[in-house]
Amino acid sequence: MDTVRFFHLPKTVGRSFLEKAVKAVLVGEKKQDFGANIVFVPASQIKQLSARYLKRNLVTDILTFRQEQEKSPGDILICLKQVRTNARIFNQDPKIELARVVIHGVLHLFGYEDEKGKTKALTMERKQEKYLKALLCQKGS
């Protein structure tokens, strides 16, 4: 997938699985021209960015930054430590939780919002879980 670039991808994380997660959303949303930088960052950095951009002094699993120019890639920042913590809290396989987070980030890049009312949040969550299910139903995942 040429338009999705990974930075600081831990060796323990399967790149092809994450690419399939992105592709599940692209297929479902009927999008072709897509670019994203998926960057794995430490908890301290995502906490600092969360405080700066969201005015929340906490470690979050993901931050997404859409670009103003349509052809420019967006940025998805992921804190793998927090994803693993969330997986434990929700009794979920860490690999599946990471795929969920990636799908969530891609949906944000397409303009979906989960903090602008219950209806929008529910719409986004349904799409997220639909694409996660599609990913997990693929052979070889």
CA atoms of 74 and 37, how far apart (whole Å):
6
SS3 of residue 3 by DSSP: coil
pLDDT over 90 at 3, yes or no: no
pLDDT of residue 114: 81
Three-state secondary-structure class, residue 21: helix
64-119 tens-digit pLDDT: 998 776 666 789 999 999 999 999 999 999 999 999 999 999 999 998 888 777 88
Cβ atoms of 78 and 61 within 8 Å: the answer is yes
Query: What confidence score (pLDDT) does residue 33 get?
Result: 77
Residue 126 has pLDDT above 50, yes or no: yes
C-alpha distance from residue 58 to each of 9, 25, 112 (Å): 22, 28, 22
Residue 45 has pLDDT above 70, yes or no: yes
Mean pLDDT of 13-31: 91
The pTM for the full model equals 0.90
Residue 1 pLDDT exceeds 80: no
- Alpha carbon separation from 62 to 14, 42, 58 (Å, rounded): 18, 11, 11
Which of 3.40.50.1370, 1.10.260.40, 3.40.390.30, 1.10.10.10 would CATH assign to domain 4-137? Answer: 3.40.390.30
In this predicted structure, the answer to whether residue 121 has a pLDDT above a threshold of 90 is no
Helices (DSSP H) in 37-79: which residue ranges?
A: 43-54
Q: Where in the chain are the domains?
A: 4-137
For the chain, the residue count is 141
Please determine, for residue 140, whether its predicted confidence score (pLDDT) is greater than 60: no
DSSP letter string, 77-119: EE-HHHHHHHHHHTT--HHHHHHHHHHHHHHHHTT--SSS-HH
Share of the chain above pLDDT 70, in %: 94
